[in-house]
């Protein structure tokens, strides 16, 4: 289907493809967020699994601009948070409903937001099947992308970027690898390969060990922001060498589920427990936590459960009530120890295949702070390591003002965003949009 505007705004159009039996699309035009662009909602149906998405065309040149996929983390966190709180064409930050967002990432890109894995947000499975590991979820995302580009042909061959934050740091390198590897099979079947160009990870949980072991440096010194008392910091720093040795032996050199779980649980409690117990916001080290149930922010939780909103966007009743995070799905990933596997090797493999990677981190975030993220980018083994590591951190600037620090070489860029927390586009919409525009244009930050 070349012309998306031919779709109905009253009911779903159901599309199939003989090359993809068992896969399909339900999609409709939707006018609920931003009247300046064409918007669509619907489901990619992968047999009995149904992934809900929002799609917004670019405000600039939708027939030419790149395509982005955005996912939030969790695991089990709905990407409606990214859409309605951070980088979407409208924001819902209070009871008054959607308001136009001038710094949306669809300023210069076609972008869709996806509720994934299955079971997240408005996504659902007919018989309760859910993905419970990142590797399982990657298969659904790869299928999603094939279906999207095969059905909506005007986007075929466009540069495609996977973007997201938090646990997406674990997701995206694996998803991108699955999409890249799938391309060879698409060519064999006479289909158009997906033009995977880059991944962008914000405040990512790509290497939890690097973040965990660096907490004392971040919460106890001027590298980050010293918010804990001295005696607590001394005790935590004494634990770091022991934790590093234990984690190396049990989680990295040889993964043993029981030993690794013990190491991580003990070290998380010793190195991160005091910060949480003090009531600080894990997503912004400058603030106390307002509401643990709402990710420490006063989010509008009822908007997407309103019957008129659900009817407008076509949320299937089978999806049940909307929740910001599916706690059962979240627990399933953790019970499978998914979070104890890093995605660093996938990042390195993508870089070796000329897929660009941007790692950006708000300087105020604690849960996936910049110190730990910078350290794993420097430690990562790949052909560009020497050149990347010899680059000094330099300032990057927006409108003549300091926006953060950055380092870049051989397709890998690391950047901090000054005074932003875990959700960078929420705190710094202008800077995050400028970062995106430079990245899409392959310009240095």
Which is the catalytic residue, given 58, 104, 166, 210?
166
The torsion angles phi and psi of 133, rounded to 5 degrees, stand at -140, 160
Please tell me the predicted confidence (pLDDT) of residue 295.
60
Which member of 365, 369, 408, 432 is catalytic?
365
**Does residue 50 carry a catalytic annotation?**
no
Q: Report the pLDDT value the prediction gives residue 103, as an integer from 0 to 100.
A: 97
Residue 31: what pLDDT?
Answer: 81
pTM of the model: 0.95
**Dihedral sign, Cα of residue 152, residue 57, residue 295, residue 135:** positive
Q: What is the pLDDT of residue 305?
A: 85
Neighbours of 404 (CB within 10 A): 25
Each residue's pLDDT, cut to its tens digit, for the chain (445 residues) gives: 556 767 777 788 887 777 777 888 899 988 877 888 899 999 999 889 999 999 999 999 999 999 999 999 999 999 999 999 999 999 987 777 888 999 999 999 999 999 999 999 999 998 878 889 999 999 999 999 998 898 888 899 999 999 999 999 999 999 999 999 999 999 998 899 999 999 999 999 999 999 999 999 999 988 877 889 999 999 999 999 999 999 999 999 999 999 999 999 999 999 999 998 988 889 999 888 766 555 665 555 678 888 888 988 999 999 998 888 899 999 999 999 999 999 999 999 999 999 999 999 999 999 999 999 999 999 999 999 999 999 999 999 999 999 999 999 999 999 999 999 999 999 999 999 999 999 999 999 9
* Residues near 263 by beta carbon (within 8 Å), at least 6 away in sequence: 243, 246, 247, 250, 251
> What is the distance between the alpha carbons of residues 225 and 436, in angstroms, rounded to a whole number?
27
Let me know how many helices (H) and strands (E) the chain has, helices first: 14, 17
* CB distance 437 to 105 below 8 Å: no
- Architecture of the domain whose range is 209-290: Orthogonal Bundle (1.10)
**What pLDDT score does 348 carry?**
98
365 is catalytic: yes
Specify whether domain 4-207+340-440 bears CATH 3.50.50.60.
no
Relative orientation angle of helices 208-220 and 370-379, to the nearest 10 degrees = 130
What is the chain's percent helix, strand, coil content, to nearest 5? 40, 20, 40
For residue 354, give the nearest of 379, 312, 382, 377 by alpha carbon: 382
Domain map (residue ranges) of the chain: 4-207+340-440, 209-290
DSSP 300: -
Neighbouring C-alpha atoms within 13 Å toward the C-beta of 303:
20
161 belongs to the catalytic site: no
């Amino acid at each position: 289907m070349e012309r998306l505007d031919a779709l109905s705004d009253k009911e779903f159009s159901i599309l199939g493809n003989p090359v993809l039996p068992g896969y399909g699309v339900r999609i409709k035009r939707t006018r609920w967020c931003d009247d300046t662009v064409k918007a669509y909602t619907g489901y990619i149906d992968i047999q009995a699994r149904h992934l809900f998405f929002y799609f917004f065309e670019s405000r600039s040149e939708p027939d030419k601009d790149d395509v982005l996929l955005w996912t939030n983390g969790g695991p089990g966190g709905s990407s409606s948070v990214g859409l309605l709180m951070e980088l979407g064409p409208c924001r819902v930050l209070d009871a008054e409903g959607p308001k136009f967002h001038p710094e949306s990432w669809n300023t210069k890109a076609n972008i869709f937001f996806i509720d994934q894995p299955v079971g997240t947000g408005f996504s659902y499975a007919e018989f309760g099947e859910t993905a419970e590991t990142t590797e399982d979820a990657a298969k659904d995302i790869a299928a999603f992308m094939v279906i999207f580009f095969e059905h909506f042909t005007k986007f075929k061959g466009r540069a495609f970027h996977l973007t997201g934050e938090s646990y997406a740091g674990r997701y995206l390198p694996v998803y991108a690898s699955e999409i890249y590897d799938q391309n060879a099979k698409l060519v064999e079947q006479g289909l158009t390969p997906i033009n995977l160009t880059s991944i962008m990870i914000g405040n990512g949980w790509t290497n939890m060990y690097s973040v965990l072991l660096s907490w004392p440096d971040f919460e106890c010194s001027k590298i980050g922001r010293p918010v804990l008392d001295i005696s607590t910091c001394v005790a935590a720093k004494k634990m770091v060498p022991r934790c590093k040795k234990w984690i190396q032996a049990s989680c990295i050199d040889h993964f043993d589920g029981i030993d690794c779980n013990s190491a991580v649980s003990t070290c998380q409690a010793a190195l991160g427990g005091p910060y949480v117990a003090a009531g600080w916001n894990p997503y912004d080290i400058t603030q106390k936590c307002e509401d643990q149930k709402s990710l420490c922010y006063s989010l509008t939780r009822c908007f997407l459960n309103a019957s008129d909103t659900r009817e407008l966007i076509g949320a299937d009743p089978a999806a049940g009530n909307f929740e910001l995070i599916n706690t059962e799905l979240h627990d399933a990933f953790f019970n499978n120890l998914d979070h104890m596997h890093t995605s660093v090797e996938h990042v390195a493999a993508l870089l070796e295949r000329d897929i660009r990677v941007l790692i950006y981190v708000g300087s105020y975030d604690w849960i996936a702070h910049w110190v730990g993220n910078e350290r794993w980018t420097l430690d990562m083994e790949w052909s560009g390591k020497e050149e990347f590591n010899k680059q000094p951190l330099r300032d990057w600037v927006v409108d003549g003002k300091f926006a953060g620090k950055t380092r870049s070489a051989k397709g890998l860029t690391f950047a901090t965003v000054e005074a932003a927390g875990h959700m960078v586009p929420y705190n710094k919409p202008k800077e995050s949009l400028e970062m995106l525009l430079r990245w899409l244009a392959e310009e240095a930050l």
